[in-house]
């Protein structure tokens, strides 16, 4: 047996001793899985209905710091509880771990049991529900890029993250030979995810030493985000178990290519018809598809914080790096922020190349869907597609710093209409805190540049 489980099936596996642990997980603001490990027998008996967590889990930074300035929770409010409500449709084996199952939980108010609006799963579900009211369904897929290092996280942390050495020594792009060096991590990752019901297509060496890419099958937007966060978590855990650091930092060395997480997206009707496609239309694009693309372009600044949430995220956006720099779209052109893929076929779709490997897929997809819906509602027509090198020309740049992205989100009427002021203000605070934390630190670059010469 592999993949998803019913509660009854889980109970049978617990009784036979095949499963003895269940991880109950929420998705935090950073797109990480947080939660509890239950004795499987207890989960089957009662914890499948609900459990609880501290509400600071949706108001912290990468280091789990209790950040001041959130309206949702604080020291003054006492950091109370949220309810974790297991979504049993996500119950599955954690195939990369022994005798373990896992389930994703919705985050609810501890008292009234209403969804927490700034929970990433709730935010994406809200946009999926808006599309459903329009008779539409969002289909998406993400590609996960990451680096595998020779040493473990513990070893690298003790060395101050200096002299980082990737597992392979030169560009591994599509190399089957070098890919074999990565297989101690990649093989158990692929097989473990497949055993968990995650629709893995395959993996390949990416365009830098020690860099890999994991591709997951196209599917409904909520499923896409679920598969992404589980796959990312699994990659790190397999790395831990094999003695290798697996990092999703978008840019760990300014001299090397960064790690992205490109997002493919399209819409279909309630009958499964691909509504982006119109036979005979230019590039096969329907009016709805053009308007959706127009919304992505018009509101690209507004949603950038959801796609690039940290100071380091913006280090990827460099000319000639395969990461985008300008708000343009093109046909099968990897220099553009938005690439039209499979033009003139029923599989026509839009690839957004802005997100880095650090992205929270729930937030990125929620932002893209909100922008696309606005484009449909406002009937926004995109400009003509660019041709040639998108790094050149006069087109506007995507936000180049975290500060710019925070300002754009804060002033976004579109996002405030889509998510509400409280949700937008919550993530604006997350962005401002990241900038404040960075601004307070003396970096290695400053020391090397000025310690002697200043």
Q: What integer best gives the mean pLDDT of the chain? A: 95
Smallest CA-to-CA distance from 352 within 412, 307, 415 is with 307
Give the separation between CA 273 and CA 343, rounded to whole angstroms.
Answer: 16
Give the separation between CA 278 and CA 285, rounded to whole angstroms.
Answer: 6
Under 8 Å between Cβ of 109 and 116: yes
Q: Which domains does the chain have, with CATH numbers?
A: 7-116 (3.10.20.70), 126-441 (3.30.590.10)
**What is residue 57's DSSP assignment?**
G
Give the separation between CA 44 and CA 25, rounded to whole angstroms.
Answer: 16
- Answer with the residue of higher pLDDT: 285 or 323: 285
Under 8 Å between Cβ of 278 and 285: yes
If you average pLDDT over residues 386-400, what whole number do you get? 91
Task: Examine the pLDDT at 1 and tell me if it is beyond 80.
Answer: no
DSSP string, 321-358: TTS--BS-EEES-TTSSEEEESTTSTT-EEEE---BTT
E strand or H helix that includes residue 235: helix 221-242
Q: Which residues of 262-288 are buried (b: 16+ CB within 10 A; e: fewer)?
A: bbbbbbbeeeeebbbbbeeeeebbbeb
Give the separation between CA 187 and CA 149, rounded to whole angstroms.
Answer: 16
Q: What's the chain's length in residues?
A: 454
User: pLDDT band at 179, cuts 50/70/90?
Assistant: confident
pLDDT at 16: 97
Q: Positive or negative, the Cα torsion across 123, 128, 132, 135?
A: positive
* Cβ atoms within 10 Å of 187's Cβ, excluding its own: 14
Phi-psi sector, 36: left (phi>0), alpha (psi -120 to 50), beta: beta
For the stretch 343-380, pLDDT in tens is 999 999 999 999 999 999 999 999 999 999 999 999 99
Task: Examine the pLDDT at 15 and tell me if it is beyond 60.
Answer: yes
Give the separation between CA 335 and CA 392, rounded to whole angstroms.
Answer: 10
Among the residue ranges 99-108, 117-126, 325-334, the one predicted with the least confidence is 325-334
Give the separation between CA 17 and CA 40, rounded to whole angstroms.
Answer: 10
**What is residue 269's DSSP assignment?**
E
pLDDT at 2: 53
If you average pLDDT over residues 200-213, what whole number do you get? 92
Give the separation between CA 114 and CA 157, rounded to whole angstroms.
Answer: 40
């Amino acid at each position: 047996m592999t993949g998803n489980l019913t509660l009854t099936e889980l109970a049978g596996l617990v009784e036979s001793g095949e499963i003895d642990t269940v991880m109950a997980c929420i998705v935090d603001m950073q797109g990480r899985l947080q939660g509890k490990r239950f004795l499987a027998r207890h989960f089957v008996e009662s914890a499948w209905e609900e459990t609880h967590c501290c509400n600071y889990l949706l108001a912290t930074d990468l280091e789990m710091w209790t950040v001041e300035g959130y309206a949702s929770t604080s020291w003054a409010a006492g950091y109370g509880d949220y309810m974790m409500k297991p979504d049993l449709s996500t119950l599955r084996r954690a195939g990369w771990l022994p005798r373990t199952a896992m389930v994703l939980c919705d985050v609810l108010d501890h008292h009234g049991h209403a969804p927490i609006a700034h929970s990433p799963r709730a935010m994406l579900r809200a946009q999926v529900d808006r599309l459903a009211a329009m008779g539409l369904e969002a289909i998406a897929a993400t590609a996960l890029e990451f680096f595998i290092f020779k040493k473990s996280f513990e070893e690298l942390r003790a060395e101050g993250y200096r002299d980082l050495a990737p597992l392979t020594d030169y560009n591994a792009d599509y190399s089957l030979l070098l890919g074999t060096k990565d297989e101690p991590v990649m093989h158990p990752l692929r097989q473990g995810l497949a055993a968990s019901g995650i629709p893995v297509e395959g993996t390949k060496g990416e365009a830098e030493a020690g860099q890999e890419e994991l591709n997951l099958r196209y599917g409904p937007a909520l499923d896409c985000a679920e598969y992404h966060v589980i796959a990312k978590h699994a990659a790190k855990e397999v790395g831990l178990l094999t003695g290798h650091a697996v990092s999703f930092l978008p840019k760990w060395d300014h001299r090397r290519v960064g790690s992205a997480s490109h997002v493919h997206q399209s819409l279909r009707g309630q009958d499964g018809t691909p509504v982006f496609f119109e036979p005979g239309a230019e590039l096969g694009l329907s009016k709805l598809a053009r308007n959706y693309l127009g919304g992505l372009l018009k509101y690209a600044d507004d949603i950038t914080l959801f796609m690039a949430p940290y100071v380091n995220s913006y280090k990827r956006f460099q000319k000639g790096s395969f990461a985008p720099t300008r708000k343009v779209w093109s046909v099968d052109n990897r220099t553009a922020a938005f690439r039209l893929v499979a033009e003139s076929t029923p599989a026509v779709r839009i690839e957004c190349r802005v997100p880095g490997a650090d992205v929270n897929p729930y937030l990125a997809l929620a932002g893209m869907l909100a922008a696309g819906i606005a484009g449909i509602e406002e009937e926004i027509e995109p400009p003509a597609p660019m041709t040639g090198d998108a790094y050149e020309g006069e087109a506007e740049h995507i936000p180049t710093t975290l500060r710019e992205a925070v300002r754009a989100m804060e002033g976004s009427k579109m996002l405030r209409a889509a998510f509400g002021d409280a949700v937008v203000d919550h993530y604006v605070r997350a962005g401002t805190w990241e900038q404040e934390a960075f601004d307070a630190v003396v970096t290695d670059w400053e020391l090397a540049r000025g310690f002697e010469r200043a």
